[in-house]
A and B are shown apart, each in its own frame.
Chain A
Amino acid sequence: MIVLLAIFFPFFMAFFVPFLYKRIHSKHIGWFVLLVPILLFILLASFVPSVAGGAHYTYTVQWIDSAGINFTTNLDGLSMIFGLLITGVGSLVILYSIYYLSEREALGRFYVYLLMFMGAMLGVVFSDNVMVLYVFWELTSISSFLLIAFWYHRKQSRYGAKKSMLITVSGGVAMLAGFLMLHTLTGTFSLREIVDEVGNLDKTDPLFYMAMILILLGAFTKSAQFPFHIWLPDAMEAPTPVSAYLHSATMVKAGIYLVARFTPIFGGETVWFYSVTCVGIFTLFWGSFNAVRQTDLKALLAYSTISQLGLIMSLLGIGSMAVSDSNESNVLIFTAATFAGLFHLINHSTFKGALFMVVGIVDHELGTRDIRRLGGLMSFMPLTFTVALIGSFSMAGLPPFNGFLSKEMFFEAVVQLSRLDLVSNGALRILIPVVAWVASVFTFIYSMIIVFKTFLGMPQSERVDKEAHEPPIGMLVAPFVLSFLVIGIFIFPNGIGRYLLTPAMTAVFPMHRDLKGLVPHISAWHGVNPQLLMTVGVIVAGSLLYISLKKWKKVYALGPLRWNLDSIYNFVLTKTESGSNMLTGRYMTGYLRDYFVYIFSFFIAVAVGGLFWIGNLEIDLSKDAAVTVNEYIIIAVMMLAGLSILVAKSRKTAILLNGVLGYSIAILFVVLRAPDLALTQIVVETVTTVLFLLCFYFLPEWKREDTKRSTKLVNGFIAVAVGSIVTILALMVQGNKLFTSISFYFEDAYRLAGGKNIVNTILGDFRAFDTMLEVVVLFIAGIGVFSLIKLKAKKGEKDIGNQ
């Protein structure tokens, strides 16, 4: 229950921010928002001891029970880690942004989006029902879109926002398809139930693999894995606190969460193992390789995030084999990999968050983050330099920082993997550790670039606009907290192991719950072993390459490297746009007549096709009631009115005749004893006639149209065909009962819904959901008409903002 409230608390507060912002209207609004993540963090932290003791909390709110969709929250070890990251980093980021964003910015909007994101992200990690998870998942994409486009007057921001939205949402849709396939296989949307059910699954079913691949697509797009990583560098157009929060600490880790969450389901499958591990390793390499050539510090951090995400992903991939392996020593090797992945996930959030904040400070104080214009800042900003040093060295995998511990464990995992005969392919066995090592060398190089190119060397005061000095103390609090964590985790890693990682590991590997050594003891020194030698190698090779950076940087200008994924993305996007423009231009002629031709032709095709498909074309009139004289008269009037419209000489006559048709239908309803319908018909007819008369003013003069004979014939045919099909259908309905009638259900309306008027109980009770949505649609239509007409006048005004 508390978890459920925790998810909705940010949304609830987001609702109040605009009202409060009107009153306060200053940067102090941030302090109010800051309360939200701090409270949630304390709340979640209070659950840590009991979760570490093996407890998990589920709470269900019945929602769409008939479809298997219930709002079930689940708090276990894995979601706890993410929950703490979301609220913890969230608190620090909001504290930081209070000082980072100036009062002139639209702070109200900023914090609404940020809170919305926080709620959505908590929803992702605490939902047990995959459909609910999906909704929150897309909500994080949407809030990320809004936050990237926060400075929407910039063209680059809009481009980055659109790109991230397109890529992550298409991945999300693929994931939804995967969830639906899993539902087909297991019959449930609940993650816990799917995990229980997975033993009985037929794993040779092609649907199983399809579901796996589709869900992986969702995870890879969200976590910016190759080749979907291209959105993350462009997402750096967002304000720096957003980049630190969404695009390094939380949202991009949603994909990792998904992979970890689905490990008990898909783990042990070689397809899963290979795709997650290889994509992760390659992303690790590609990200770090590309980070080195960046000149914008934020772009560098973006590529480094991509690379670190790849590292975590590959570790989870290696670890997934523990699910199916029965050899205990092998299992321990695999689980150690997953453990390293989860450990690095926490470490990455600490050092990368600190680094983003440092870059934000540099940008804020100097007005640039281009490393070619920076240098020698150490003497001006000693505190900022300290944080940068701690963060970068941790990222490079150097002691005494937490990055060293998880990096060593990563090396251990790949070395151990190459010793197993599991990886049957000999080349791959060598390749994985080699690529991992090379990628780490590049990681070392770009970490050094951040520290040395920015803070050491000659100050280039003539190339920056402002004088360098330390930021306000409030801006330094958050990065300092993070760098204390970086060192603190290095000194006391096993506290985290005991309280956070142990329950998370049992959540990922429920089948190895009782295995001894599932959670290895983390120690900084374990003798001279391959992984230590690899680290030493990284330092040596990295230093050499860093010094000779200028000499080999030409590599990046080589042909195949310039041919990049971004241009493919842009090409596909522009082609799709122009293609659909052309297609739409073909059939959207602007003539109502043409649109009716499309609609009715489609209707004819579907109805006739349907009749042939069913095949039973009998018309049985015996069950129909007898037609009385009154009815004949009314129908004759209607037919006359309908026919006379065709030969009407003026538009007014035609409208009136149309009115005759409408009111006659109403009378027919009265005769057939349907008072509700009759009332509605009369009023609707009246209102539409008024509308018609209003539109009268705008319509051009009524004149005979000179259309071709053939067009007229076709239109006539369509008209007659539609009329006869409707008639035939109506006559056949009584004769052919394909299904049992459902109306008996409503006859019991008084007992079921407490109303004697069946029509109304259907509208207000049995099908109230339909009515509710219709009301919403009606409202949207009204607003649509209103804005269409009101905005029309502004056509002459110029389009603003393409900066």
Chain B
Amino acid sequence: MEINDVILKTVTKIIVFIILTFGIELFLSGHHEPGGGFIGGLVLSSAFVLLYLVHDIETVHNGIPFDFKKIAAFGVFLAVGSGILSVLFGTKFLGQGSRVFDLPIFGETEISSVIVFEAGVALTVVGVVVTIILSISEDV
């Protein structure tokens, strides 16, 4: 049965970008405001899930040709690797530091090394959520 979902598809095109932007905003603001890697990752994955719901799996896969399992694995690698990296820099395992940079557009910006760890968390969440949902839906 073919459902006429023109409205849904049109709305999704815009909404997905809003959700993605929101997800990234949440991810970046996590240090001082509500947000962070986990929640950012969840929002990002809900955007992907929405895409998969509205279009079929094949179409989305042509547009976003990532293997989400690999994304999840890369996330774990980042999260664990950032911990080991901090040992190599002479601090404790998973120790973090931050520094204020003067960036061209953003002005004075504080960049903390925890962002690598948070990125790992976010990527794992995105990868795992999409992998689970995809594998269940592909099993039809």
Contact = CB atoms under 8 A, between A and B. Distances in A.
Do these two chains really belong together in a complex? yes
Contact of A789 (B34, B46, B125, B136): B136
A665 to B, nearest CB: 16
A12 to B, nearest CB: 13
Contacts of B118: 764
A786 B94 contact: no
B140 A687 contact: no
> Most chain-A CB neighbours within 10 Å: which of B38, B83, B131?
B38
A782 B26 CA distance: 23
A62 interface: yes
B50 to A, nearest CB: 9
A786 B120 CA distance: 20
Contacts of B33: 756-757
A697 B137 CA distance: 9
A790 B31 CA distance: 39
Contact of B42 (A683, A753, A786, A789): A683
A764 B49 contact: no
A63 B121 CA distance: 23
Given A690-B53, A691-B133, A779 B73 contact: yes
B26 A679 contact: yes
Contact of B34 (A675, A686, A764, A790): A675
A778 B114 contact: no
B31 A778 contact: no
Given A63-B93, A755-B31, A765-B114, A772 B83 contact: yes
Contacts of A782: 69, 72, 127-129, 131-132
A687 to B, nearest CB: 6
B45 A769 contact: no
Contact of A786 (B32, B83, B132): B132
B79 A775 contact: yes
A683 B131 CA distance: 17
A781 interface: yes
Given A765-B114, A772-B83, A782-B128, A694 B137 contact: yes
A418 interface: no
B96 interface: yes
Interface in B93-117: 93-94, 96-98, 110, 112, 114, 117
Contact of B39 (A62, A679, A771, A792): A679
B135 to A, nearest CB: 5
B61 interface: no
B39 A764 contact: no
A786 B127 CA distance: 12
A515 interface: no
A61 B91 CA distance: 11
B2 interface: no
Contacts of B73: 779
A778 B75 CA distance: 11
A763 B114 CA distance: 10
Given A697-B140, A754-B112, A786-B132, A779 B124 contact: yes
Interface in A18-58: none
Given A697-B140, A757-B32, A764-B96, A786 B135 contact: yes
A759 interface: yes
Given A676-B39, A775-B120, A690 B34 contact: no
Interface string B34-75: 111111001101100100010000000000000001001101
Contact of B136 (A694, A754, A778, A781): A694
Given A686-B46, A757-B34, A776-B76, A769 B93 contact: yes
Give chain A's interface residue range (CB within 8 Å of chain B).
35 or more
A683 B97 CA distance: 30
Nearest to A782: B128
B38 A763 contact: yes
B5 interface: no
Interface string A762-803: 011100110110011011011101100110100000000000
A757 B136 contact: no
A61 B32 CA distance: 33
B39 A683 contact: yes
B75 A680 contact: no
Contacts of A763: 36-38
A599 interface: no
B72 to A, nearest CB: 5
A783 B33 CA distance: 32
A177 B81 CA distance: 31
B72 A756 contact: no
B126 to A, nearest CB: 11
Contacts of A759: 34, 36
A754 B76 CA distance: 24
A695 interface: yes
Contacts of A776: 76, 79-80
A757 B35 contact: yes
A684 interface: yes
Nearest to B118: A764
Nearest to B125: A778
A760 interface: yes
A691 B125 CA distance: 15
A754 B138 CA distance: 44
Interface in A464-483: none
Interface of B: 26, 30-39, 42-43, 45-46, 49, 53, 69, 72-73, 75-76, 79-80, 83, 87, 92-94, 96-98, 110, 112, 114, 117-118, 120-121, 124-125, 127-129, 131-133, 135-140
Nearest first, the 9 A-B pairs at minimum CB distance are A782-B128, A756-B32, A675-B34, A683-B42, A768-B94, A760-B36, A764-B114, A789-B135, A755-B31
30 contacts: A675-B34, A676-B36, A679-B35, A680-B38, A680-B42, A687-B45, A690-B46, A690-B133, A694-B137, A695-B136, A754-B97, A754-B110, A757-B36, A763-B37, A764-B36, A764-B118, A768-B117, A769-B93, A771-B79, A771-B117, A772-B79, A772-B83, A775-B120, A776-B76, A776-B79, A779-B128, A782-B129, A785-B132, A786-B69, A786-B132
